[in-house]
């Protein structure tokens, strides 16, 4: 008696993209629906419902390899509509159902690997951020270990994770650990750029980015400046204070540490009238502190963000020419993405709730779940809204 093993229609192991796998099964379900109806019931791009049904199908398939539920009693699992969710005592949390009760997935299943890899490819985050973003919807058993494995196999992460010399670090300044201080009460700022923008059909100009970062919460605020003059920076500072409130301490460098390609930027910042800036801030009860010249590490909170921004902006924008307002919109969207990064490590207990990010402190909520779009992927520069959104999506992929 011969027993022939039935081959599955779709082999999950042959796919390297979670998004592509979900869309393939979604089109299969649409084909089945149209065949049963003997007419074209639905056509065009996939809808949100179709993608959710396809995603639910693969979650159920992955959960078939789970052991008995009593082996996961510490997670309080329960089954609803053929899907196993992680329970707990936090049912009264005002969160979405997926965040309150993430779906339980095994560690060694290809679906878990694809989901974690998909989350990581959107930004090449660290282990804590990757695990936190995955657990917003899925609870993978030993998810941190799986994220560590994927990070080790990621060629992009291994390319940028260079080993540096270890050194003994000094104690944090008082401004970095001041309790009960509102966001941006202690702020560090810096310039970065320049970026060429299109001001007319055949004319371009140089604009600069200005970064403000909170020394306590590490929240980020980005502004745009048309030049590096004193008056222009005062206007940028007024816009910052109008949105975030007046800072008690404002820290920046004197611009003399810029070298090489930023020589023009260094020379422009060197022409700042420091006395006028201090006088402007003193009238508004703002203490301005300039760091030591030729010591960029004294303003490391802003410098490390400038380094990551410049690299990601170069990779995502490239040689594209944006208008000033498009560059301003792009910087605002990027600052929102940065402010969604978790503060600290994601807890491993489902009863501990979700992570805290700078947006929770600034807005009182995290803005990652605000609906966007739908935007169509396009390379046509005439469709500027979709074009700017495509650049924002490419920021974390850089």
If one compares 69 and 181, the residue with the highest pLDDT of the two is 181
DSSP string for 148-208: HHHHHH-HHHHHH-------PPPPPPGGGG-TTPPTTSEEEEEEEEEEEEEEETTEEEEEE
Q: Per-residue pLDDT tens for 207-224?
A: 888 889 888 888 889 899
Asked whether the predicted pLDDT for residue 30 surpasses 50, the reply is yes
Q: Which long-range contacts (CB under 8 A, 24 or more apart) does 379-385 make?
A: 381/320, 384/323, 384/326
Q: What is the pLDDT of residue 261?
A: 31
Q: Quick one: CA dihedral 225, 228, 234, 240, positive or negative? A: positive
Q: Phi first, then psi: what are they for 236, rounded to 5°?
A: -65, -40
Q: What is the pLDDT of residue 257?
A: 32
Q: Per-residue pLDDT tens for 248-302?
A: 888 887 653 333 333 444 555 566 666 766 666 666 667 777 777 777 777 778 8
DSSP string for 331-391: HHHHHHHHTTS-SSPPPSSGGG-----HHHHHHSS-GGGS----------TT-HHHHHHHH
Q: Per-residue pLDDT tens for 141-156?
A: 888 888 888 888 887 7
**Is 191 within 8 Å of 228 (Cβ atoms)?**
yes
Mean of per-residue pLDDT scores for the chain: 76
Please tell me the distance from the alpha carbon of residue 345 to that of residue 182, in angstroms, as a whole number: 22
Q: What is the pLDDT of residue 34?
A: 82
Q: What is the pLDDT of residue 262?
A: 39
Q: How far from 58 is each of 21, 78, 83, 274, CA to CA, in Å?
A: 9, 18, 10, 61
SS3 258: coil
Lowest mean pLDDT among 106-110, 190-194, 359-363: 359-363
SS3 118: helix
Neighbours of 364 (CB within 10 A): 7
Q: What value, to the nearest 5°, has the Cα angle with vertex 159 and ends 17 and 110?
A: 25
Smallest CA-to-CA distance from 358 within 237, 238, 212, 209 is with 212
Give the pTM: 0.50
The torsion region of residue 227 among left (phi > 0), alpha (psi -120 to 50) and beta comes to: beta
Q: Per-residue pLDDT tens for 323-353?
A: 888 888 888 888 887 887 777 666 666 655 6
Element (H, E) at 275: helix 274-283
Hey, what's the torsion of the CAs at 28, 30, 36, 39, to 10 degrees? Answer: -130
> Sorting pLDDT into bands at 50, 70 and 90, what band is 177?
confident
Q: How far from 337 is each of 140, 182, 366, CA to CA, in Å?
A: 24, 20, 10
Smallest CA-to-CA distance from 269 within 291, 284, 298, 247 is with 291
- Tell me the domains of the chain and their CATH numbers: 12-159 (no CATH), 174-397 (3.30.420.10)
């Amino acid at each position: 008696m011969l027993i022939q093993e039935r081959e599955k229609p779709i082999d999950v192991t042959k796919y390297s993209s979670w998004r592509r796998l979900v869309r393939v099964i979604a089109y299969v379900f649409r084909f089945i629906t149209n065949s049963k109806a003997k007419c074209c019931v639905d056509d065009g791009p996939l809808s949100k419902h179709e993608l959710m049904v396809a995603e639910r199908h693969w979650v159920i398939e992955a959960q078939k390899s789970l052991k008995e539920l009593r082996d996961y009693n510490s997670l309080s699992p329960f089954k609803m509509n053929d899907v196993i969710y992680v329970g707990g005592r936090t049912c009264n949390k005002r969160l979405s159902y997926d965040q309150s009760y993430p779906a339980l997935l095994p560690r060694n299943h290809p679906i878990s690997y694809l989901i974690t890899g998909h989350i990581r490819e959107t930004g090449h985050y660290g282990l804590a951020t990757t695990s936190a973003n995955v657990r917003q919807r899925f609870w993978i058993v030993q998810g941190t270990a799986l994220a560590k494995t994927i990070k080790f196999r990621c060629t992009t992460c291994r390319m940028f994770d260079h080993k540096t010399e270890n050194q003994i670090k000094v104690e944090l300044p008082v401004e970095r650990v001041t309790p009960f201080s509102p966001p941006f009460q202690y702020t560090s700022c810096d310039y970065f750029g320049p970026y060429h923008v299109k001001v007319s059909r055949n004319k371009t100009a140089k604009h600069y980015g200005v970064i403000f970062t909170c020394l306590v919460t590490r929240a980020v605020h980005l502004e745009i400046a048309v030049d590096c003059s004193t008056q222009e920076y005062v206007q940028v500072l007024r816009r910052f204070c109008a949105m975030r409130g007046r800072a008690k301490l404002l820290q920046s460098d004197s611009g003399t540490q810029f070298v090489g390609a930023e020589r023009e930027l260094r020379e422009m910042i060197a022409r700042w009238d420091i006395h006028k800036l201090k006088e402007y801030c003193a009238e508004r009860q703002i203490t301005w502190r300039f760091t030591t010249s030729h010591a960029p590490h004294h303003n490391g909170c802003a410098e490390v963000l400038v380094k990551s921004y410049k690299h990601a902006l170069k990779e995502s924008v490239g040689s594209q020419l944006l208008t000033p307002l498009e560059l301003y919109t792009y910087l605002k969207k990027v600052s929102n993405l940065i402010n969604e990064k978790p503060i600290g490590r994601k807890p491993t207990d489902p009863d501990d709730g979700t992570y805290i990010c700078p947006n929770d402190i600034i807005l009182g909520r995290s803005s990652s779940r605000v609906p966007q779009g739908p935007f169509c992927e396009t390379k046509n520069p005439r469709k500027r809204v979709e074009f700017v959104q495509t650049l924002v999506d490419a920021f974390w992929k850089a």
